[in-house]
Amino acid sequence: MLLSVNVFVSLDGIMQGPGAPDEDRSGGFDRGGWLVPHASVHTSEVVEGWFREADAFLFGRTSYGLLGGYWPKVTAPDDLIATKLNTLPKYVVSKTLTDEDADWSPTTVLRTGIVDDVRRLKGLPGRELQVHGSWKLVQALHQAGLVDLYRLLQYPVVLGTGKRLFPDGSTPATFATPEGSARVLPGGVVSLTLTPTTLGAISAGAYTVDRGHSTPVPH
């Protein structure tokens, strides 16, 4: 399976607490719920498109608890997201969660050797092993070079503080955008699909003047 990271981010790259004021107040974050005023049928269509590709889910402990506390209550049979989340295999990374408390069935708790476990899961048949939210886990997966695909919905809001998708100290990387995978939705939300091309380095260059023209020259 491909490992995809699917997140909502602000213009300044914050992914913390998009869905509700009390979703994630860690670090004193008091700007939760910033996504909701920009939600629309267009953003819903994009997110449903993400979930159509899922054959399993991988979560950090906090996101597992938040999503597991909400989506089992959504029982409408025509809700694609709820159906996927409530029926497909789920894997949660936690050293403290017991099997009894991991009751959002079917769930498997991953407690040690996370990088090796994720590599093993990626070797299973299926389309995508999807990560949603799970900030700390996303950092570890990026650093290990395990992410095959990033899907972002970037909202026209600056938060100024909070957990950033790529915080200071992240491993440098270069990404490609497949043709047709970047578009601006009505209302100004940007939908992006990014595939990592290099990890640990970025390409660079400089502008120079060539026969009177400003010209970019890759190094």
Domain boundaries, the chain: 2-218
> What average pLDDT does range 4-14 have in this prediction?
98
- Asked if pLDDT for residue 201 goes beyond 90, the answer is no
- Asked if pLDDT for residue 104 goes beyond 90, the answer is yes
pLDDT, mean over the chain:
96
**DSSP string covering the chain:** -EEEEEEEE-TT-B-SS-S-TTS--GGG---TTTTGGG--HHHHHHHHHHHHTEEEEEEEHHHHHHHHHHGGG---TT-HHHHHHHHS-EEEE-SS--TTT--SSSEEEE-S-HHHHHHHHHTSSSSEEEEES-HHHHHHHHHTT---EEEEEE-S---SSS-BSS-TTPPPEEEE--TT-EEEPTTS-EEEEEEEEEES----EEEEEETTEEEEEE-
At residue 46 the predicted structure's pLDDT band, cuts being 50, 70 and 90, is very high
- Asked if pLDDT for residue 180 goes beyond 90, the answer is no
Distances (CA, A) of 51 to 35, 45, 129, 156: 18, 10, 10, 23
CATH hierarchy code of domain 2-218: 3.40.430.10
At residue 70 the predicted structure's pLDDT band, cuts being 50, 70 and 90, is very high
Q: What is the predicted pLDDT for the residue at 112?
A: 87
> What average pLDDT does range 47-55 have in this prediction?
98
- Asked if pLDDT for residue 194 goes beyond 90, the answer is yes
pTM, entire model: 0.94
- Asked if pLDDT for residue 203 goes beyond 90, the answer is no
At residue 214 the predicted structure's pLDDT band, cuts being 50, 70 and 90, is very high
Residue whose C-alpha is closest to residue 136's, from 98, 92, 172, 97: 92
Query: Position of tokens 């400089």?
Result: 206
How many whole angstroms separate alpha carbon 110 and alpha carbon 131? 14
pLDDT digits (tens, 9 = 90+) for 128-178: 999 999 999 999 999 999 999 999 999 999 999 999 999 999 999 999 998
Q: What is the predicted pLDDT for the residue at 67?
A: 96
CA dihedral 80, 83, 84, 87 (to 10 degrees): -170
